[in-house]
A and B are shown apart, each in its own frame.
Chain A
C-alpha cells in the first residue's frame, strides 16, 4: 500500500463518515433535549432523497433549487412528525415515545413504497468529475461532502453556543422544568431542535445522493442505524461527539473494505456498539449523567 492509496481510502472513509456524522448530529440533538431516540430520523433522509430525485428528474429544477427544496421538505417533515407524533406523548413513559418513533419509521418506509414503488430510483450524479491530490484521484463529490459537513458542524456549534435559541436548547436539555420556569418556551425550543436536526438530515441526504445517486424506500434504515452507532460511539447528546463518531465509523468501514473484509463491514460497525456499551457507555465525549433520585 503506497501513500496515495491510503490517502484515497481515507478520503473514501471521510466521505461516507461525513454523511453518518450529519445524520448522527440529528440523533444526538434530539436525544440530548428530550431523551428520545428518534428512529424516524433515517427515513427523513429517504424522503429527502426522493424529493431531490423528483425535483431534478421530473421537474428539472436547477440542482441548487432542488437542494433548497429538499432541505425545506426534510425540515418541515421533521417538525410535523414532532408535532403530530411526539408532542402529545411528552408526558407519557419514554417507551411509548420510542415505540411511536419506530412506528413512524415504518409508516414512512411503507408509505414511500406505496407512493414511489419498491424499486430503486436512479439519477445522474449531482456532482461529477475528479481531481488529483497528493497523487491520488479525489472526486469533487468527496471534497464537497467533507467540506459541507464540516461547515454544517461549525454553523451548528455557533448556533448552539452563541445564539439565544441555542442557549434555550442547552437549558432545556439540562433541566426541562427549570428552563420552563425561566420563561423558555418548551414547544418552540423542541420544535426548533427537530427542525435543525431534520435540516441536517436533509443536507446529509443530498451528500448521500452525491456518492450513491439512488433512492429506495428502505435506504434510510441501515444508514440511520449506522449513524446511530456513530452517535453512541461519539457520546449521544454531544455535538462534536457525533461528528467524531461519524468520521470514525466511516473510516473504519472504508478500511475494513479496503482490507478485503467487506463481508464484515456491518458486523464490525455493530461490534463497536457492543464494545462501547460495555467499556464506556457514555461514548467518547459523552457527559456522565448522575441519576437523581
Chain B
C-alpha cells in the first residue's frame, strides 16, 4: 500500500509541475479587451488570399490599390476582424466622399492566419495585383515578417496594432539599429506606456515614491515595468519597493505587504485586469491606500474589484471609449457591422487607414505614377512627415523610429466606472 501511495504521489507531483509550467498565451497587443461573441463577417470577401483579385494595372484607370493583410481567421481573429472592418469602414467612407483626388481606393484583403509565412505570401500576391501600399499585419509576429519583405522593396506599410519594438527596428535591443524606414504603426509601443505613466505619476499625481508590482517572465509586464523604472529615475521618482509574482499566482499578499511597509505614494502594476483587480483588493485589505497606476491591460478592470477599492486607480489606454472624439466612429462602426466596437484594435485600424490614405494623397498630389519607386518613397516621406493629424485615438506624429508620438488617454476609475479623464 505504501509503495503504491508513494508512486502515486510522484505522479501527482508531475501533474503539479506541468500545471505550474503553463505558458502565457497573451497576444502581443497590450491588454486589449476582447468581445469574441458576435463576430459577424458581414461581407463575403475572400479570406483565403489566393483568390485572384483583378489586377488593377497600376494607376491610370482611376483606382488606387491598397492591400490589407491580417488574421481574419484563426486563434486571434477577434483582433484581426475589427482591424479589417475598420479599414473597410474608413476606405468606404473615403470613397463615398470621392476618394483621393477623384480616384477610388480599392482594398485587396488577404488573410495571413496570424502566420508570418502566410503574410509574406499574401504580400507577394498583393504585389502581383498592383498594390501600392500595405495596411497590416495585426499581430506583432506576422507584422515583422511582413515588414522584412516590404522593406526590401521599400513598400509603404502601416500596422494598426504591432506593438513589438522589432517591427520598425531590425534589432530592437540596439538603439542604433537600422530602422525599417517604410514601416509605421498606429499604436504606441509597450515601453511608451511605462514612460507615459511615470511622467503622469510625477507631474499629475504629484507622486514622490512608487512601488512596483509586476508579472515575471511576461514581455508586456516586464517591458512596461522597465520603461517606467527608467523614466522614474530620470524624473526623480523614487522606487521604494519592487515586487514580482509568477504567472498564475492569485495570492499577492506577501508582496503587497512588502510594498505597504514602504508606504509609497503610488503603485505601478503593469499587469492584466484580472490580476490587477486581485492585487488592488488585496492591497486595500492590507491597508495599502496608494493609488494604483497601470497600462492598457487594465481595460475592463471595473468588473474585477469593488468600486470602493478601485476608486482613483488610473491607467493609460490607446483609445478612450465613449469620448466625444470617438463617438462618431463608434456609431459608424456599429451601423456598418451591427455590433459595438469590440476592442481598441478597431479605432487604431481606422487611424492606420486614415494615415495611409493621407500619405497616398500626398503622392497623388505630386503627380507621381502609382507603383513606381518615386511614388512609394513619396508615400513613405508623407507618412514620416505626419504632424498633428487628428485621428480617432489621438493626434499623430512619428518619431525617428516610426513610432507614433501621440497622447495617451488617461482613464480613471470613479464610482466603479472607467471614466476618460484627459489626454496626456
Identify which of B19, B258, B285 contacts A222 (C-beta below 8 A): B19
Q: Which chain B residues numbered 194 to 253 have a C-beta less than 8 Å away from chain A?
A: 216-217, 243-246, 248-253
Nearest chain A CB to B286 CB, angstrom units: 6
Q: Is the CB–CB distance between B257 and A12 below 8 Å?
A: yes
Within the complex, what minimum Cβ distance (angstroms) separates B7 from chain A? 10
A128 to B309, CA, bound (A): 10
User: Is the pair A142, B250 in contact by a Cβ cutoff of 8 Å?
Assistant: no
| Binary contact readout B302-313 vs A (1 if CB under 8 angstroms, 0 otherwise) | 011110110000
How far is A141 from B306 in the complex, measured between Cα atoms in Å?
15
Closest chain A residue, CB of each to CB of B216: A263
Do A211 and B282 touch (CB < 8 A)?
yes
Assembled-state Cα–Cα distance A219/B251 (Å): 12
Does B287 have its Cβ within 8 Å of any Cβ on chain A?
A: yes
A50 within 8 Å of B (CB atoms): no
Please, which residue of chain A has its CB at the minimum distance from the CB of B248?
Answer: A222
Complex formed: what's the CA distance from A75 to B306 in Å? 29
In the bound assembly, the distance between CA atoms of A256 and B250 in angstroms comes to: 15
Assess A291 versus B2: contact at CB under 8 Å? Given A12-B254, A125-B285: yes
| In the complex, residue of chain B having the shortest beta-carbon distance to the beta carbon of A266 | B20
Determine if A214 and B304 form an interchain contact, defined as CB atoms under 8 angstroms apart: yes
Identify which of A63-71, A181-189, A270-278 touches chain B: A270-278
The one of B9, B217, B274 that contacts A277, using a Cβ cutoff of 8 Å: B9
A255 to B253, CA, bound (A): 11
A143 to chain B, nearest CB (A): 11
> What separation, in Å, do the CA atoms of A249 and B145 have in the docked complex?
47
The residue on B at minimum CB distance from A258 is: B254
In Å, the complex CA distance between A15 and B284 comes to 16
CA distance A125 to B13 in the complex (A): 32
User: A263 with B246: in contact, given A137-B286, A139-B286, A281-B2 (CB under 8 Å)?
Assistant: yes
Closest B residue, CB atoms, query A139: B285
Measured CA separation A257–B278 after assembly (Å): 16
Interface of A (DSSP majority class): helix
Contact of A12 among B245, B249, B253, B306 (CB under 8 A): B253
Contact indicator B257/A270 (Cβ below 8 Å): no
Interface centre among B1, B281, B306 (most CB of A within 10 A): B281
Q: Which residue of A lies closest to B262 (CB)?
A: A5
Q: Which residues of B contact A265 (CB under 8 A)?
A: 246, 249
Q: Which residue of B lies closest to A282 (CB)?
A: B2
The CA of A174 and the CA of B163, in the complex, are separated in Å by 64
Cα A274 to Cα B9 with chains together (Å): 9
* Contact in complex: B286, A122 (CB < 8 Å): no
Determine if B13 and A130 form an interchain contact, defined as CB atoms under 8 angstroms apart.
no
Chain B CB within 8 A of A16 CB: yes
1/0 contact trace for B3-24 toward A, CB 8 Å?
A: 0111011101101110110000
Interface residues of B in 272-290 (CB under 8 A from A): 274, 277-278, 281-282, 284-288
Mark interface residues in B142-160 (1 if CB within 8 Å of A CB, else 0): 0000000000000000000
Question: What interface size band does chain B fall in?
Answer: 35 or more
Taking the nearest CB of chain B, how far is it from the CB of A246, in angstroms?
14
Q: Which residues of A contact B274 (CB under 8 A)?
A: 120, 122, 214
Task: List the A side residues contacting B91 at CB < 8 Å.
Answer: none
CA A125 to CA B251, docked complex, whole Å: 14
Report yes or no: B2 in contact with A9, Cβ–Cβ below 8 A. no
Contact B8–A98 (Cβ < 8 Å): yes
B281 CB contact (under 8 Å) in A5, A98, A125, A257: A125
Interface code A200-222, partner B: CB below 8 Å = 1, 0 otherwise? 00000000000111100001011
Nearest CB of A to B115, in Å: 25
What's the Cα separation between A16 and B301 when bound, in Å? Answer: 24
Residue pair A128, B255 in contact (C-beta under 8 Å): no
B260 interfacial contact with A, CB 8 Å = yes
Query: Which chain B residue shows the least CB distance to A222?
Result: B19
Partner of B285, one of A16, A37, A130, A132: A130
Asked if A262 and B249 sit within 8 Å, CB to CB, the answer is yes
Is B261 close to A, CB under 8 A?
yes
Closest 6 CB pairs of A and B: A137-B287, A257-B254, A139-B285, A124-B306, A12-B253, A258-B254
Known: A212-B282, A222-B16, A255-B254. 15 other contacts (CB 8 A): A4-B261, A98-B8, A128-B308, A130-B284, A139-B287, A214-B277, A219-B250, A221-B19, A257-B245, A257-B251, A257-B254, A257-B255, A263-B216, A266-B16, A289-B1
12 residue pairs bridging A and B, Cβ less than 8 Å apart: A8-B286, A12-B257, A122-B277, A137-B286, A137-B288, A211-B282, A225-B12, A255-B254, A258-B258, A262-B254, A277-B6, A281-B6
